[in-house]
Amino acid sequence: MRLYLYIFSFFIVSKIFANDSFITNLEYAKMLYENPRGIGCNKCHGRYGEGKIIAKYKKKGKVYYLKSPNINNISKEDFFKSFSSRHKIMPKYFLTYQEINSLYFYLQQIKRKIDKKRGKK
Ligand code: HEC
Does any ligand 1 atom lie closer than 6 A to the CB of residue 78?
yes
Residue 85 counted as domain residue: yes
Residue 6 counted as domain residue: no
The DSSP symbol for 14 reads: H
pLDDT at 82: 96
Which domain covers residue 36, as residue numbers? 22-117
Domains: count for the chain? 1
Distance 46 CA to ligand 1 centre (A): 10
CA distance 73 to 79: 10
pLDDT at 24: 93
Residue 73 counted as domain residue: yes
Distance 27 CA to ligand 1 centre (A): 21
Ordered per-residue pLDDT tens for the chain, 121 residues: 677 777 767 666 666 665 556 789 999 999 999 999 999 999 999 999 999 999 999 999 999 999 999 999 999 999 999 999 999 999 999 999 999 999 999 999 999 999 999 987 6
Residue 16 counted as domain residue: no
Helix axes 76-84, 97-117, angle to 10 degrees: 140
Does any ligand 1 atom lie closer than 6 A to the CB of residue 31?
no
Residue 82 counted as domain residue: yes
Does any ligand 1 atom lie closer than 6 A to the CB of residue 55?
no
Cβ neighbors of 98 (< 8 A, separation 6 or more) are none
Helices (H), the chain: 2-17, 25-34, 41-45, 76-84, 97-117
pLDDT at 16: 61
Which ligand 1 atom sits closest to the C-alpha of 93?
38
Does any ligand 1 atom lie closer than 6 A to the CB of residue 62?
no
CA distance 60 to 102: 43
Residue 76 counted as domain residue: yes
* CB atoms closer than 10 angstroms to residue 89: 10
pLDDT at 14: 65
